[in-house]
Amino acid sequence: MLIPANSAPSSELKARPGPFVPAVISIRNREPTAMTLLLDIVTTAAILFIVSAGLLAIFGVLEIVNFAHGAWLTVGAYCAVVTGGLGLNPWLALPLAFVTGAVLGGVTERLIVRPLYARPLDAILATWGLGIVIGQLITLWFGRDVQFTENLLSGTIHVFGANYSLYRIFALAAAAVIGLGFAFLMEGTRLGLSARAIIMNEPLARALGLDTSKIRLVTFMIGTGLTALAGVLLTPLTSVDPTMGVAWLIGSFMLVMVAGSSFGALAIACLVFGGAQVLVSTFISPILGGITVAVLSALVLRISSKGFARV
């Protein structure tokens, strides 16, 4: 007998419904009420939004798909592990993750992404390679076992006649803060104006003397910082291990493809596809629910290559 393929380092993932299914939805035994279902939909959408926002920021401005996105989520989650290990307040993991993610992102943009702006498919591959490297470095440092982090918020809250996870409601608020923060950054600041100028018409932006390489660098850093932040926010929802981020990569990637460069479109895509995911998971099968986002996104793109970007 042959040695089984060692292709996927995914044995740890088997506790989940499948290796590519983020454990977003609490699988309940009892029948869901309309209210909990609604809350599931909006909070799932919020979590998807949080997880995808950093990828969108990078793709929107740089037109580069950061396939190391999952690794940055993992880095963020391990920031929470480190914070816990040092006995610090778990909330401190958020700024720590943002800074770590942004610094690593800056180095990555300089060394790996910058030479590949003209070769977007190769940039996907190189960042995927980087994801492998980061995953292995984390494994070397922390081991491959599942880590435990202190809960940011626990318990339930009474919303509209239903008892619901307090943390998931918090995630909704966090998504709103991230979304509004980004809206302010894009619409209200000079950096955002420059970034929008690059999205709309890069040759003109350069002809006006905008420092496009600096704007790209800063955007990449914000994107990766935000992604690491999202990694911290994920810790109460999923187990932390060196490959945890990969489970989220494809879903975020598909949502971003559909949303283009618009945060509004991303919010809508998260709500529609996240909603579909909750419904399929609840009423049909959580395993099939896990591929809902990817399959629906692919179909939407097949019908209209702009996806929801025109919304």
Considering only residues 207 through 236, tell me which ones interact with other proteins, judged by CB under 8 A.
207-211
Q: Which of 12, 18, 185, 268 binds other proteins (CB under 8 A)?
A: 18
Asked if 183 is part of the footprint of other proteins (rule: CB under 8 A), the reply reads: no
Per CB under 8 A, contacts with other proteins among 64-93 are 65
Q: Which of 86, 137, 176, 183 binds other proteins (CB under 8 A)?
A: 137
Q: For residues 177 and 184, which CB has a smaller minimum distance to other proteins in the complex?
A: 184
Stated as kind and residue range, the H or E segment containing 179 is helix 166-188
Q: Which of 27, 88, 140, 176 binds other proteins (CB under 8 A)?
A: 140
Asked if 3 is part of the footprint of other proteins (rule: CB under 8 A), the reply reads: yes
Closest by Cα among 282, 290, 286 to 254:
290
Asked if 146 is part of the footprint of other proteins (rule: CB under 8 A), the reply reads: no
CB of 128 to other proteins, least distance (A): 6
Asked if 145 is part of the footprint of other proteins (rule: CB under 8 A), the reply reads: no
Stated as kind and residue range, the H or E segment containing 303 is helix 286-303
Contact segment (CB under 8 A) with other proteins among 73-81, 126-134, 161-169, 270-278 equals 126-134
CB of 122 to other proteins, least distance (A): 5
Asked if 136 is part of the footprint of other proteins (rule: CB under 8 A), the reply reads: yes
Per CB under 8 A, contacts with other proteins among 148-167 are none
Per CB under 8 A, contacts with other proteins among 88-117 are 112, 115-116
Per CB under 8 A, contacts with other proteins among 225-284 are 246, 250, 253-254, 257
Q: Which of 27, 88, 125, 146 binds other proteins (CB under 8 A)?
A: 125
**d(Cα 186, Cα 111) in Å, to the nearest integer?**
26
User: Between 189 and 208, how does the x/- string for binding to other proteins read (CB under 8 A)?
Assistant: -x--xx-xx--xx-xxxxxx
Asked if 118 is part of the footprint of other proteins (rule: CB under 8 A), the reply reads: no
Asked if 298 is part of the footprint of other proteins (rule: CB under 8 A), the reply reads: yes
